[in-house]
Structure 1
Amino acid sequence: MVGWLVLRSRGGAGGGKNKKDIETGSVHISEAVDGEMWMNDNAFESEKSTAFSISINIQIDFSQKARLQPLRFKLSAICIAFTLLSLCFLPSTFPNLLGMMMRVSDCILGLWVWCCCLLLLLAAAQITDPSEVSALMAVKEKLVDPMKNLRNWKNGDPCTFNWTGVLCSDNLGSDGYFHVQELQLLNMNLSGTLAPELGQLSHLRILDFMWNELTGSIPKEIGHISTLRLLLLNGNNLSGSLPEELGYLSNLNRLQIDLNNISGEVPEALANLSSVRHLHFNNNSLSGQIPPELSQLSTLLHLLLDNNNLSGYLPPEFSNIPDLRILQLDNNNFNGSDIPASYGNFSRLAKLSLRNCSLQGAVPDLSRISSLSYLDLSQNHLTGPIPSNKLSENMTTIDLSDNQLNGSIPGSFSDLPSLQTLSVKNNLLTGPVPTNIWQNMSFGTSAKLKLDLRNNSFSIIQGDLNPPVNVTLRLGGNPVCNNANLLNISLFCGSESGEDEMRTYLNNSPAQCPIQACPTDDFYEYVPASPVPCFCAAPLRIGYRLKSPSFSYFPPYIQSFEAYVTSFLNLSLYQMSIDSYSWEKGPRLRMYLKLFPSINNKNSSAFDDSEVQRIRGIYTSWTFRGSDLFGPYELLNFTLLGPYADVNLENESKGISKGILVAIVVGGVACAVALSAVVTILITRRHARHQLAMSRKRFSSRVSLKIDGVKEFTFKEMALATDNFNSSTQVGQGGYGKVYKGTLSDKTVVAIKRAEEGSLQGQNEFLTEIKLLSRLHHRNLVSLVGFCDEEGEQMLVYEFMPNGTLRDWLSAKVKETLNFGMRLRVALGSAKGILYLHTEAHPPVFHRDIKASNILLDSKLNAKVADFGLSRLAPVLEDEGTVPDHVSTIVKGTPGYLDPEYFLTHKLTDKSDVYSLGVVFMELLTGMQPISHGKNIVREVNMAHQSGVMFSLIDGRMGSYPSECIERFVGLALSCCYDKPEKRPSMLDVVRQLEYILKMMPETDSVSSELISYSGKSLSSSSSYSTRDPYVSSSNVSGSDLVSGVIPSITAR
């Protein structure tokens, strides 16, 4: 049977002029130049003329006929013709089929011919410029993509099939194609190099590779993309020099190459970037003279060149840049250059930072810069007096420390109402200590003033030395400290132990709300500032950094910052909460934000997908209006967890035409209906024989998994063990699926994890998982008993833990309680199990989801670590027992337990597990959940410890405990949860410290395994307890519980 589709053109009255005929297989197509098309279909004609014939004539007028390429033109017409053909074929043919069963096979064949034609045409559809498709494939060829983020960059058309990170134009170009306008591949753990073919993306507006691990140089071909507005390459390992060709990008608004290894000089050609507003070149290895020609950049707002190897002189012409707000050149070497006097003529400058630049000469008069709020000229060789003219009332920070300045502190400094920091330490200043600086200021509840006058020659006090509590005064190293007659002088002259504001947590705790009102899965929490009491919702968690803020103390500006961000996100103020923030070297301000859905939405417990896409789009398209106060920002992380885990961050494809979409949908439906009718007839006649054949085929094709140490169960055995998976046998549910308590035929009680449909793996992956689990043997790991891979099911069978999870014991689910000694043993057992994974498994395993609900307790309350569903195999190292550096992954885990550094960088290390275990230790100490009622356990324990009220958080249910032991346990938990991984102990150190603490316990506490509910008073600290360093404990960790020996290598999944 042959199917024909004939498209005949009519060129006006003549009909047949100017046409091209294309014949492919059994499809004959004629294309008209003027766009009018006629269709005639004589379908399904057999040699015996028993088939039917249908004739369809349709005239179509395409409004964009001159712009459409031939293939897309034919695709639209063929889809419509196929749709109508299918709709007519079905009602006229189905009755004949019922009476003519012998012709069923012919009908099936005909339908499959039509469907295959449609699918082939769709696959061949080319709506994106072919040269751009080739360029994208070349880009992918140069990249290493361990997380398979670009796995869909292989099939179909980029603009049609939504390639990851590729956004296309809304309308056809003049050449009849859609074009790639944005390539956003930020934070995807990509390595490799940038392909020169990027220059072929001639319509690109945004090129974003931020926060990856790219190496190599920046291709000069990028300078050919004249439409480019944002070039974002910061946070990689790029090297080489800046191409001169970047100067051709006349439409470029933002150029960010910071945090790379770029060397060479700054090209003079960049002075041709007539639209640029942001040049961020900090933290590289740039050298040579800063081109004075950059002063021609009349639109420039931010120039960040700090932390390079620049030399020469400071270009005085920079003061001619009319809108320059931030000039940051710290940590360069300008060879004894003076600060140009012209810098006092900046018209809109908010921040001038020239710290550690080898500058000399005098401090220029900057009093005419009315917008200046941040001045840092520290660590140079400046001489002479400090100018006496009054600086801007916006001044928040003045740092002139570590110079050779003389004279006295100007009286005008006492008339700066917004001042937060004044540092003039390590100079040659004389005269009185200016107490009028704080006497003339009115402090709000959040204001703070730090005066650092150390190591000068101040000899007298001007006024009373009685600053308010929010003023920090440092006078050490001045002659005035030798005057013992001055009241309170010793308070300000001693060795200062106070630190700068390096880490501050915000405590936005809502009112007391019932626990049951908010889900307890760690993804939801109460909205701190909600106008509706106890409003429970799932926040979006965002890592965010201010790259050059114009202040040195954040609290007075928190409300302004919240208003600034929410206004541009189009959110209400209560929808944003600053979870935490910390100052970094620069100084730069890193913070973690939480954004909550509106209470006015119908389903207000979480943002819908479109709102998540909108918010992320605002960040990644850099549409925030600039702020003199907060400076430039960068998005560090936008990780989606909980209800947002399945959100597709890519916008729906805008490139495909509506006509094609309608034709595809209608044609597909018609095809599906016709196929369903025919297949139904076949099924009713051959059901029994078909089922038997399929059963035999499935049985013969399944590969039997023979793995030493574990048993393969049949599906029938699993069903019998669980009473056909009766809900009464279900004991839990996790990310893998439901967990059932089962009893095998030999009366062994087991836990059966049954994978849900979305968690099923391919057989090779499942085989690898079982091989891994079967070779991990330790008394503190839950053992794998067997598995089932049958009837389309995948199940893992574990030993059953009768005492449930640690979380159950710390909550109200278990009536009994664990005393302090038992909790220490649980902590030690858990640590030993994880230490085995890190150091004795081969290859090492990082758990990635350590939490109290994944620590199970056996009949003797021994801790066993469970749930390796999120574990990652680490690279194999030659040195046995060595923990590998890291493995890059998509961030997964449970909020409250996630390592902040892992969340930020996607680099999973052994220290990530240490952090999570530290959170578990805090749960053991307090009984609290990691996140509850808007409170974070790490934050709460930190604050209580720093305030000296830690014992108020200790769980009263664990009864009496030696205070020294609990203090050491608190210290260990806090050290495990340091922000910086390098400060955290290794898992081996954790085990040693826990063993040491247990040795300090009284014998009755350390060896008893009975369940005890204490109500007596706490034991006092005993002087007989050993105080030797736990790191030199004589215990042999490797022999304490670890199973030694080489485990066979397992191929990483």
Structure 2
Amino acid sequence: MSKLRASGCVIALLCSSFFLVAVAKVTNPSEVNVLRAVKSRLIDPRNHLRNWDDGDPCESHWTGVLCFNAVGGDGYLHLQELQLLNMNLSGTLAPELGQLSQLLILDFMWNDLSGTVPKEIGNMTSLTLLLLSGNKLSGSLPPELGYLANLNRLQVDQNNMSGPIPKSFANMSSVKHLHMNNNSFSGQIPPELSEAPTLLHLLLDNNNLSGYLPPEFSNLPNLRILQFDNNNFKGTEIPSSYGNLSRLAKISLRNCSLQGEIPDFSRIPHLSYLDLSHNQLSGRIPSPRLSENVTTIDLSDNHLNGSIPESFSELPALQKVSLDNNFLTGSIPTIWRNISFSRKARLALDLRNNSLSSLLGELNPPANVTLRLGGNPICKNVTIPNIGQFCRPEAGDGISDNSINSTQPMTCPIQACPTDYFYEYVPSCPVPCFCASPLRVEYRLKSPSFSYFPPHIQNFEIYLTRSLNLRLYQLSIDSFVWQEGPRLLMHLKLFPMFINSHSNIFNVSEVQRVRGLLTSWEVPLVDFFGPYELLNFTLLGPYSNMIVDPQKTSISKRALAGVIIGCIAAVFIISAIVMLLTTRCFKRRYPPSRRHSSSKISMRIEGVKAFTFEEMTVATGNFDTSTQIGQGGYGKVYKGILSDGTAVAIKRAEEGSLQGEKEFLTEIELLSRLHHRNLVSLVGYCDEEEEQMLVYEFMPNGNLRNWLCAKAKGSLDFTMRLRIALGSAKGILYLHTEANPPIFHRDIKASNILLDSNLVAKVADFGLSRLAPLQDDAGIGPAYVSTVVRGTPGYLDPEYFLTNKLTDKSDVYSLGIVFLELLTGNQPISHGKNIVREVSLAHKAGLMFSIIDSRMGSYPSECVERLLDLALRCCNEKQDKRPHMPEVVRELENILKITPATDTIFSTSTSSYSDQSPTSSSLLAGDRSYTSSSLAGSDLTSGAVPTIVPR
């Protein structure tokens, strides 16, 4: 049977070799040379582009896709897709790209490219998508791009480009999307763009454009979104003809130095969003009723006079009306009277700083309405009941809805979902407690036609799942946040469909299908949600090492002849390597024992003892289950007693754990030279009998998470928690500044902070740690390590998650989460709630003391406030706004100095627990109600409460 399997393996390899050689025979050689030229200009720190010269039919790296999947009349395969999204590439664009005459998609979005856009791209006449957003490109757009008659989408937003917008763009007869916002383009907007009959979205906001607004744009029959915010059209009026844009959904001309009167937009039947704020518009607000679809009217900070149109009261979909800072007079209509408020609906009505003196109707808006009247004469009318509450100065607009989508918690067993590999319960699955690993997608709506998202979440979920051919329960909006623009950033989770209890991950083809729909802009357009963009398609856990099969290639008869000729030629080559393939296949079928594969570390390391397997067996009673105190992705952890009576924690790698083997090497290398009071010490290791074990000093007081969980029998007062925070910080500070070379831990969490007999905190588990980048004497060099994202959900630095750039500030973020756990007792993610968001909201609302862990007892409020402030600074989304570790340690020491001395539950003189604390026996007697939740590695004591729980 083994010989048959080995033979089958050889045959498979032979077939694979035939295919690759044959394809190489029909790949256009000139295009392969172009790719070499393109590659030579790119700097690729992740080494994704190393195989480009091979000419594979479709080389895919998930974020980067290179596909030869079109056969021309010359019998060669031609490149149709070149997608290098978010790959951390730097360098410049090669002019040789213009030779890829049959390319359909050119996507270099969200990299670090500089230089100019080559004019030669204008030769790529087949191009449909030109996507260069989110780089550092500079210079002008070449007029030659106007030759791209088949171009559907041009995106160069968020670069450093300047100069005029070429008039030749009017020749793009197929273009639907021109996204050139957030650059430094200058000069007049070409009126010639009105000759692009298919144009849907024209986004030119945040540039230096001047001149006038072309009235010719009213001739664009399909225009849906016109967004020119933050330009300088000084002295220009809004053309009255814009009121004839019959298909317009959104017009945004904020802060453009516009003058004159507001045109009548009542003839636009589907208008949803109107923003003309921060201009010098004058005259009255037009009184004809706008479309019933209108959600947002922002006319604030102008010179408008007259009264507020009563027709505003006839708009049932309104979410926001901002008329503040004008010269409006007369009475305030009850704008909310015809709105049917659902539980999620909101209306923010800002009328501050006008000359409004009376009210039409009663002043009794529903709870869903935020009304702001400060700075109007009506506020002095004391006869109006409750007028004061609407005249107080307030911050915000009353409808801020940045949120984490919260679903009803499920009563599912905590241990049943293996969080080690980013598995979690599917929130809305019709099968209760279905556990699966999601695809994580960072998705942004660039110009939505609403101001408040919750009422539209369900429609958005229906729209996106239908577009991606998924069931509704397969989509979860993990969080969303409004960004400048305004743009709506969402973090989505896409779950596999439930087929049976084992179908808990997407297969390769399904991942490829979903990604292809998003990156090729095949998700249908809905004007209300506006254009979208894919910022990241991150693969973690079971998806991180997926190998993508080549896409199926359509081959003509001429190409097939080439394949046959190639196969014949390949026979002679393959016959010479059959023996090599057989040998490799045999090795795959019968891999060498772990004793041999790990022999490279069987050496004497100073201060670290090499234990025999027999010694480990005796220490643990033949690894009796009663001595097991934890379990994680690395393997099981046992308490052992050495021959001299020393108690140790023994991490035993599970057989076949390749990931564990890597951590085995890493942790020995790192810990053998790390010596600090607040780091767990490595006693020794065992590397024989095909076993890998690490032996640590034993921590009798378990891990911090055990002390903070709801089932803990004991509690820690504020002083003790502060000392644990300080000890943990000092351990991390040592790693960052005194270890040689410095180390980024990468997996700081409460379950990796262990407590010794005196409750001194010690940082543990270095299986995921990485050496910091080396810098020269002048401190010049990279401040980060480019690496695949690893860590524990809830503790992961969001910037590291998005960019793959690990820095010292990534550890600071994780440590900040631990500080919040110390203060609140809560887990980082619990029932769909994120600890950072919950604490931030409470802090801003002045309710911070309502979230403090009640088990902490009495505490000094000033000290708690300072620790909370430090924790939130550590957890800032932006790395450059977080403190460095020396500052963290210094602030903790200062807080400790002003903390009053208190009696704690722990007595250092007796080195034992009080009656209320957990006992050593409970930690060591196999109480395994919880298991480790880390992605890799495990704890050295009884397992920790998982960081992701049923929602």
Shift of 1:254: 0.9
Q: 1:761 to 1:911 in 2, by over 3 A?
A: same
Match of 1:448 in 2: 346
Match of 2:382 in 1: 484
1:795-874 equivalence runs, <5 A = 798-811=696-709, 818-841=716-739, 844-874=742-772
Render the CA deviation track for 1:80-122: whole Å, top value 9, x for unaligned: xxxxxx99xx9xxxxxxxxxxxxxxxxxxxx9xx999989994
Q: 1:487 to 1:223 in 2, by over 3 A?
A: same
Match of 2:804 among 883, 906, 909: 906
Render the CA deviation track for 1:688-723: whole Å, top value 9, x for unaligned: xxx9xxx9x999x9799787x554748779877878
Please tell me the residue identity of whatever aligns with 1:913. Answer: D
| Cα distance between partner residues in 1 of 2:576 and 2:689 | 30
Question: 2:430 aligned with 1:531, yes or no?
Answer: yes
| Cα distance between partner residues in 2 of 1:573 and 1:213 | 36
Higher mean C-alpha displacement, 829-838 vs 384-393: 829-838
What SS class does the counterpart of residue 379 from structure 1 fall into?
coil
1:258-407 equivalence runs, <5 A = 258-407=157-306
What SS class does the counterpart of residue 364 from structure 1 fall into?
coil
1:63-82 equivalence runs, <5 A = none
Q: 1:126 to 1:795 in 2, by over 3 A?
A: farther
Render the CA deviation track for 1:769-794: whole Å, top value 9, x for unaligned: 86655444322123345668899988
CA contact (8 A) 1:400 1:423 kept: yes
Match of 1:428 among 324, 327, 330: 327
Q: 1:159 to 1:738 in 2, by over 3 A?
A: farther
1:222-237 equivalence runs, <5 A = 222-237=121-136
CA contact (8 A) 2:746 2:791 kept: yes
| Cα distance between partner residues in 1 of 2:568 and 2:407 | 53
What SS class does the counterpart of residue 904 from structure 2 fall into?
helix
CA contact (8 A) 2:461 2:475 kept: yes
Render the CA deviation track for 1:843-877: whole Å, top value 9, x for unaligned: 54332221122222233322122233333444456
Please tell me the residue identity of whatever aligns with 2:167. Answer: E
Question: 2:469 aligned with 1:558, yes or no?
Answer: no
| Cα distance between partner residues in 2 of 1:522 and 1:131 | 43
Match of 1:172 among 51, 60, 71: 71
CA contact (8 A) 1:851 1:897 kept: yes
Match of 2:889 among 967, 982, 991: 991
What SS class does the counterpart of residue 349 from structure 2 fall into?
strand
Shift of 1:444: 2.0
| Cα distance between partner residues in 2 of 1:492 and 1:785 | 67
Render the CA deviation track for 1:372-413: whole Å, top value 9, x for unaligned: 111111111111111122211111111111111111112222
Please tell me the residue identity of whatever aligns with 1:758. Answer: L
1:964-979 equivalence runs, <5 A = 965-966=863-864, 968-979=866-877
Match of 2:913 among 1007, 1011, 1024: 1011
| Cα distance between partner residues in 2 of 1:353 and 1:290 | 16
Shift of 1:964: 5.6
Match of 2:945 in 1: none
What SS class does the counterpart of residue 430 from structure 1 fall into?
strand
Please tell me the residue identity of whatever aligns with 2:392. Answer: G
Q: 1:221 to 1:796 in 2, by over 3 A?
A: farther
CA contact (8 A) 2:320 2:451 kept: yes
Question: 2:470 aligned with 1:571, yes or no?
Answer: yes
CA contact (8 A) 1:818 1:1012 kept: no
Shift of 1:275: 1.0
Q: 1:673 to 1:548 in 2, by over 3 A?
A: closer
Please tell me the residue identity of whatever aligns with 1:630. Answer: F
Q: 1:811 to 1:760 in 2, by over 3 A?
A: closer
Match of 1:643 in 2: 542
Match of 1:758 among 658, 664, 667: 658
CA contact (8 A) 1:160 1:655 kept: no
CA contact (8 A) 2:173 2:197 kept: yes
Shift of 1:959: 5.4
| Cα distance between partner residues in 1 of 2:771 and 2:546 | 27
CA contact (8 A) 2:331 2:357 kept: yes
Question: 2:828 aligned with 1:930, yes or no?
Answer: yes
CA contact (8 A) 1:162 1:652 kept: no
CA contact (8 A) 2:60 2:548 kept: no
Match of 1:918 in 2: 816
Q: 1:194 to 1:673 in 2, by over 3 A?
A: closer
Q: 1:453 to 1:954 in 2, by over 3 A?
A: closer
CA contact (8 A) 2:125 2:148 kept: yes
Higher relative contact order (CA 8 A, sep 6+): 2
What SS class does the counterpart of residue 52 from structure 2 fall into?
coil
| Cα distance between partner residues in 1 of 2:407 and 2:777 | 47
Q: 1:266 to 1:698 in 2, by over 3 A?
A: closer
What SS class does the counterpart of residue 39 from structure 2 fall into?
helix
1:49-60 equivalence runs, <5 A = none
Please tell me the residue identity of whatever aligns with 1:380. Answer: N
| Cα distance between partner residues in 1 of 2:446 and 2:786 | 25
Shift of 1:171: 5.4
Question: 2:682 aligned with 1:780, yes or no?
Answer: no
| Cα distance between partner residues in 2 of 1:461 and 1:1008 | 68
CA contact (8 A) 1:817 1:1013 kept: no
Please tell me the residue identity of whatever aligns with 1:384. Answer: G
Q: 1:176 to 1:266 in 2, by over 3 A?
A: same
What SS class does the counterpart of residue 31 from structure 2 fall into?
helix
CA contact (8 A) 2:726 2:889 kept: yes
Match of 2:30 in 1: 131
| Cα distance between partner residues in 1 of 2:23 and 2:297 | 65
Match of 1:255 among 146, 151, 154: 154
What SS class does the counterpart of residue 890 from structure 1 fall into?
coil
CA contact (8 A) 1:379 1:403 kept: yes
TM-score (norm 2): 0.83
Please tell me the residue identity of whatever aligns with 2:348. Answer: K
RMSD: 4.3
CA contact (8 A) 1:522 1:896 kept: no
Q: 1:152 to 1:858 in 2, by over 3 A?
A: farther
Match of 2:935 in 1: none
| Cα distance between partner residues in 1 of 2:851 and 2:159 | 44
CA contact (8 A) 2:313 2:338 kept: yes
Structure of greater Rg = 1
Shift of 1:974: 3.8
Match of 1:191 in 2: 90
CA contact (8 A) 2:613 2:686 kept: no
| Cα distance between partner residues in 1 of 2:794 and 2:530 | 30
Please tell me the residue identity of whatever aligns with 1:634. Answer: E
Match of 2:335 among 431, 437, 451: 437
Match of 1:630 in 2: 529
What SS class does the counterpart of residue 558 from structure 1 fall into?
helix
1:395-794 equivalence runs, <5 A = 395-434=294-333, 436-500=334-398, 501=400, 503-521=402-420, 523-601=422-500, 603-648=502-547, 652=551, 654=553, 709-711=606-608, 713=610, 749=648, 751=650, 758-759=658-659, 773-785=671-683
Higher mean C-alpha displacement, 361-370 vs 935-944: 935-944
Q: How many residues align?
A: 888
Identity %: 64
Q: 1:829 to 1:363 in 2, by over 3 A?
A: same
Shift of 1:517: 3.9
Q: 1:751 to 1:415 in 2, by over 3 A?
A: same
| Cα distance between partner residues in 1 of 2:81 and 2:868 | 49
What SS class does the counterpart of residue 765 from structure 2 fall into?
coil
What SS class does the counterpart of residue 352 from structure 1 fall into?
strand
CA contact (8 A) 1:889 1:908 kept: yes
